[in-house]
């Protein structure tokens, strides 16, 4: 039979070198093994793992790794001739993860990573190196677990000028806050519960301090606004100071407290903040429970898009890794941050100045004229009051009262000025609490 009538041979397999065999790495192994035929059909070629690397070879990992070559050093794995795509799921923004990723690019490999810290700190340099070498770096798994938010920004919404990126991007923080709310438990109790369940990073501040979520926000901001990644300019405030009293009182006023990331380009520059905020209880963000993530994207043509799903875990994160791998197998080549790295601009960092309503809680001496003095401070700062309540709690001294105020929209600087004036009134006891109410 003439060659022209012969069937085309199956394309050569795409060969993966997998660095990291923790929760996510084993999830990748399981997907590759379980769905080999389906992946080959969808990718147009087989996808196989040829070699792996991890710190402890003898550990029981609940997966058959016998068919893969083993490298103790991830850099050696990245340089292997039988590896086309280096899959990095080790974590950490320095040390082996950085060295191995740089080695993979230098050796002509494409890279798929779940490492948000690596890209938040070194994304621009790595993107420049990859694009100069004709390689791609894909990182869907680094942001919001199984939610395809990177794909949405770089592909589906590529025709939009983005207005705002917003979301709950750390499942551990959302678990803690919703558990406090639903069970009426204080922060310290739920924090320890989360630690016992294994929800917290080895350094818990990465979670509860907002750092992990801040990494993710800085990556989304770079794609959305065409800027270099600028994690150092993300305003960070964790959830450690959120009290059960504020959760209860916010709930009573129709709000829930979330660790909310917001990035938007303003006339002053790029605002990036990851802070506790109040959101309407009946909004999609307000209804978000447990470890689930949600990202809200706003474009000038499409309006508002809401993406919701699991933000971590073996299956969801490995699913995101494999989505990137299959795109590479299909021949899809995209710039790391949605446009050539050399065209990304240095952002002008801007402190949050966009006006918003605020929730204020303070303890006042319960005597004539106390509320008037507080109202005067707000008025002098140009802040008007939308709602105000006085609460006399059981067990509280008769000469004290808790006052809750919801303001109309006010600039953060004006709120800060009013808070500084409260100390001069002689009627405000301790430090007032001020939490932004984000319009969603």
**In a shared domain, residues 99 and 171:** no
Is 216 a residue of the active site?
yes
Whether residue 396 has pLDDT greater than 60: no
pLDDT at residue 47 in the model: 98
Q: What is the CATH number of the domain that holds 99?
A: 3.40.50.720
pLDDT at residue 397 in the model: 56
pLDDT at residue 429 in the model: 87
Q: Kindly name the residue from 98, 116, 216, 258 that is annotated as catalytic.
A: 216
Instruction: Examine residue 340 and state whether it is found in any structural domain, yes or no.
Output: no
**In a shared domain, residues 55 and 9:** yes
pLDDT at residue 393 in the model: 60
Instruction: Examine residue 345 and state whether it is found in any structural domain, yes or no.
Output: no
Sorting pLDDT into bands at 50, 70 and 90, what band is 366?
Answer: confident
**In a shared domain, residues 238 and 205:** yes
Total domains, the chain = 3
Name residue 271's beta-bridge partners. Answer: 264
Instruction: Examine residue 349 and state whether it is found in any structural domain, yes or no.
Output: no
Quote the DSSP letter at residue 12. P
| Cα(25)–Cα(33) distance, integer angstroms | 13
**In a shared domain, residues 126 and 193:** no
**In a shared domain, residues 166 and 305:** yes
pLDDT (tens digit, 9 = 90+) per residue, 242-278?
A: 999 999 999 988 999 999 999 999 999 999 999 999 9
Instruction: Examine residue 426 and state whether it is found in any structural domain, yes or no.
Output: yes
Q: What is the CATH number of the domain that holds 372?
A: 3.30.70.260
**In a shared domain, residues 164 and 114:** no
Global pTM? 0.91
**In a shared domain, residues 163 and 254:** yes
What is the domain range of residue 197?
Answer: 149-311
**In a shared domain, residues 207 and 291:** yes
**In a shared domain, residues 390 and 409:** yes
Whether residue 281 has pLDDT greater than 60: yes
pLDDT (tens digit, 9 = 90+) per residue, 84-124?
A: 999 999 988 889 999 999 999 999 999 999 999 999 999 99
pLDDT at residue 228 in the model: 97
Give the position of tokens 């592909």: 155
Q: What is the CATH number of the domain that holds 277?
A: 3.30.360.10
Percentage of residues in the chain having pLDDT higher than 90:
79
Whether residue 134 has pLDDT greater than 60: yes
**In a shared domain, residues 32 and 62:** yes
What's the whole-number mean pLDDT along residues 303-315?
A: 92
- Per the model's pLDDT, the better-predicted residue between 440 and 258 turns out to be 258
Of 282, 311, 340, the position where a domain reaches its end is 311
Whole-number Cα distances in Å, 226 to 151, 154, 158: 15, 11, 11
**In a shared domain, residues 131 and 65:** yes
Instruction: Examine residue 339 and state whether it is found in any structural domain, yes or no.
Output: no
Instruction: Examine residue 320 and state whether it is found in any structural domain, yes or no.
Output: no
Of 142, 163, 189, the position where a domain reaches its end is 142
| Cα(119)–Cα(216) distance, integer angstroms | 9
Instruction: Examine residue 212 and state whether it is found in any structural domain, yes or no.
Output: yes
Instruction: Examine residue 330 and state whether it is found in any structural domain, yes or no.
Output: no
pLDDT (tens digit, 9 = 90+) per residue, 47-61?
A: 999 999 999 887 888
**In a shared domain, residues 80 and 119:** yes
pLDDT at residue 398 in the model: 66
Q: With beta carbons less than 8 A apart as the criterion, state whether 175 and 291 touch.
A: yes
| Cα(144)–Cα(320) distance, integer angstroms | 9
């Amino acid at each position: 039979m003439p060659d022209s009538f012969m069937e085309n041979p199956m394309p050569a397999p795409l060969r993966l070198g997998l660095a990291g065999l923790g929760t996510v790495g084993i999830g990748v192994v399981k997907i590759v093994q379980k769905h080999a035929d389906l992946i080959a059909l969808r990718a147009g070629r087989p996808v196989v793992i040829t070699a792996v690397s991890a710190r402890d070879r003898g550990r029981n990992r609940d997966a058959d790794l016998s068919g893969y070559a083993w490298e103790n050093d991830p850099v050696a794995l990245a340089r292997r001739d039988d590896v086309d795509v280096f899959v990095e799921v080790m974590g950490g923004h320095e040390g082996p993860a950085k060295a191995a990723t740089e080695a993979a690019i230098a050796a002509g490999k494409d890279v798929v990573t779940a490492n948000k810290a690596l890209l938040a700190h070194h994304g621009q340099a790595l993107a420049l190196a990859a694009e100069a070498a004709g390689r791609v770096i894909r990182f869907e798994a680094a942001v919001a677990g199984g939610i395809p938010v990177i794909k949405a920004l770089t592909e589906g919404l590529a025709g939009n000028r983005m207005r705002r990126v917003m979301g709950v991007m750390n499942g551990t923080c959302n678990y803690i806050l919703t558990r406090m709310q639903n069970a009426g438990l204080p922060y310290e109790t739920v924090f320890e519960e989360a630690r016992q369940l294994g929800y917290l990073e080895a350094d818990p501040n990465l979670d509860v301090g907002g750092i992990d979520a801040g990494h993710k926000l800085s990556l989304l901001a770079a794609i959305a606004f065409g800027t270099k990644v600028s994690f150092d300019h993300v305003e960070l405030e964790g959830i450690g100071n959120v009290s059960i009293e504020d959760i209860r009182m916010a709930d009573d006023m129709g709000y829930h407290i979330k660790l909310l990331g917001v990035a938007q380009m303003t006339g002053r520059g790029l605002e990036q903040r990851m802070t506790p905020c109040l959101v309407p209880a009946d909004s999609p963000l307000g209804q978000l429970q447990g470890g689930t993530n949600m990202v809200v994207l706003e474009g000038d043509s499409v309006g508002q898009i809401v993406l919701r799903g699991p933000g971590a875990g073996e299956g969801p994160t490995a699913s995101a890794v494999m989505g990137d791998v299959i795109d590479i197998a299909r021949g899809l080549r995209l710039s790391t941050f949605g446009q050539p790295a050399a065209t990304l601009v240095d952002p002008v960092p801007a402190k949050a100045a966009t006006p918003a309503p605020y929730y204020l809680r303070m303890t006042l001496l319960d005597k004539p004229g106390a509320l008037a003095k507080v109202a005067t401070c707000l008025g002098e700062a140009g802040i008007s009051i939308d709602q105000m309540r006085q609460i006399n709690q059981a067990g509280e001294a008769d000469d004290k009262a808790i006052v809750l105020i919801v303001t109309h929209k006010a600039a953060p600087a004006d709120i800060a000025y009013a808070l500084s004036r409260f100390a001069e009134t002689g009627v405000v006891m301790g430090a007032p609490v001020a939490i932004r109410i984000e319009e969603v």
